[in-house]
Amino acid sequence: MQYDHILIRYGEMSLKGKNKKYFVSKLFSNVQSKLKDYPHVKITKNHDRMYILLNGEQPEPIIELCKEIFGIQSMSLAIKVDNTEEAIKEAALYALTNPTNVQTFKISTKRVYKDFPIRSQEMNRILGGHLLTNTEKYTVDVHHPDLEINVEIRREGTFITSEKIKGAGGLPVGTTGKSLLLLSGGIDSPVAGYLTMKRGVELEAIHFHSPPYTSERAKQKVLDLAKKLTRYGRTVRVHIVPFTNLQQTLFRQIPEEYGMTLMRRLMMRISEQVAEKEGILSLTTGESLGQVASQTMESMNTINEVTNYPILRPLVAMDKVDIIDISKRIDTYDISIRPYEDCCTVFVPSQPKTKPNRKKVNELEKRLDFGSEYEETLNNIETIEFKHDKAADEEEFADLF
C-alpha cells in the first residue's frame, strides 16, 4: 500500500460565495500548468477539494511545486480505497504506522456519501479499535493527537489522509486582476511583486534601463528576477524602457537636487501609460516608508501627484529585515544582491531633496521640454515574455556558479 493521491484544500476562497466556481477553476488551471512536466498525474476538482492522482509519480517534488501555488491552504497525502470496511481499515493502519514520531492519534471520519451504511461516529470507533488491536505503541488522544487521520467517505471512494502540509495561502493568481510592477534590480520590488501575486494578482513588470550607464548585466538581473516570479504566476511580461535620453535631458534642464523627484514622476507617468495600453488597472512598487529619500511622506505625496492609478505598496509598513527574509525564502535575494548599477542611482544627485513640495516641483516641471524624446521612448519599449519552465530555473541556477 502507498499514498496515491495528494489532496488539496482551498484557502480563503471558500468564503467567496458566487465567485467560488471561478476561483476554483483558476486554481485548477494554475495547478495543471504547474504540473505540466508530469503528464501522468491526473487532477480532479470538486467544490471544496482538489485531488492529484499520482499514477506512480513520487509525491515529494509535486508537493514542493504545489507549495508555490497561491490559493492552496494545505495539502495532505491521501490513499483512495474502495468503500468497504476492510479496505478502509487497512489504509488507516498504513496512515498510522507510516510516519515516525507518532504516539497518539485520533480518527476523524466524514461520511459525505450517505448511502455508506456505517455512520461517522461508529466508523471512528471501529477504526480506532482496529488500530489499537493491531499495533502496540499507540494510544488515542482526541484533544491533542500527534496525528489526526482523516477518513472521508465519498461516492467515488474513501480518502484516508494524514499530516497536513502548509500551502502558500492567498488567492489563485489571475483572480483579482493585473498590476504593473515597477521592477528594479533591488531587493524590495521582487518581494512586492510576490506579495501582490499572493493576493491573486497577475503581474506584468516595467523596468527603466539607462544604457550605457547601466549595463547589460543590470538588465539581465531584472530579467532573471522576472523569470523567478513566474514560479508563482506562470507568465510575466517585462517592458524595458530605454530611459537614458529622457534622464539626461531632465538633469540638464532642472536643478540637480530636484532631479530624483522629477525622474520618479516621469517613471510614474510612463508606467501609467504602459498600464493603460495593456489594460492593466494598477501599479505596484517596492516602496517602504522612510527607507530612502524618495520614500518620505513628502516625496510620496509629490511623486504620486502625477497618477491617479491605484499604487499597490505591499511593503509600505514593513521593516527591511523582514523584506530580506521573504526575498531569501522566495529565492530572489541572491539575484538582487548581484552588483549592478541602477538607473536611479546613476543619476541621483549627492543631495536629493527629501522634502520636495508639489508647487515647486510643478513649476520646475513646466520648464521641461523633452521635444520628441518622450514619444520616442514610448515607441522603443522592448517587451519580453517569460513563462515558467523547469529549464529556466536550472539555467539560472547554473549562472550563479
Could you list the residues that contact Mg ion (CB under 5 A)?
A: 184, 186
Give the nearest distance from C-beta 385 to Mg ion in angstroms.
24
Residue 207 interacts with, from Mg ion, ligand ATP, none (CB under 5-8 Å by kind): ligand ATP
Contact predicate 183/320, CB 8 Å: no
State how far the Cα of 354 lies from the Cα of 300, in Å rounded to an integer: 10
Contact predicate 281/178, CB 8 Å: yes
Residue 129 among known ligand-binding residues: no
Residue 208 among known ligand-binding residues: yes
State how far the Cα of 311 lies from the Cα of 318, in Å rounded to an integer: 16
187 binds ligand ATP (CB under 6 A): yes
Counting residues that bind ligand ATP (by CB under 6 A) gives: 20
**Burial (0-12, 13-18, 19+ Cβ within 10 Å), 205:** buried
208 binds ligand ATP (CB under 6 A): yes
Q: By Cβ distance, which residue is nearest to Mg ion?
A: 186
Give every CB contact of residue 44 below 8 A, 6+ residues apart in sequence.
50, 51, 53
Residue 207 among known ligand-binding residues: yes
CB nearer to ligand ATP: pick between 96 and 180: 180
377 binds ligand ATP (CB under 6 A): no
C-alpha cell at 49: 477539494
CB nearer to Mg ion: pick between 341 and 373: 341
Task: Answer positive or negative: Cα dihedral of 84, 76, 106, 135.
Answer: positive
Give the nearest distance from C-beta 348 to ligand ATP in angstroms.
9
State how far the Cα of 79 lies from the Cα of 94, in Å rounded to an integer: 9
Query: Mask 46-85, x = binds ligand ATP (CB under 6 A)?
Result: ----------------------------------------
Give every CB contact of residue 265 below 8 A, 6+ residues apart in sequence.
302, 303, 305, 306, 361, 365
Q: By Cβ distance, which residue is nearest to ligand ATP?
A: 186
Residue selected from 131, 342, 386, 388 as contacting ligand ATP according to rule CB under 6 A = 342
Residue selected from 225, 238, 343, 361 as contacting ligand ATP according to rule CB under 6 A = 343
- Read off the DSSP letter of residue 199: B
Residues that bind ligand ATP (CB under 6 A): 182-184, 186-189, 206-208, 285-287, 291-292, 294-295, 342-344
Q: Which residues are annotated as a binding site for ATP?
A: 182-183, 207-208, 264, 286, 295
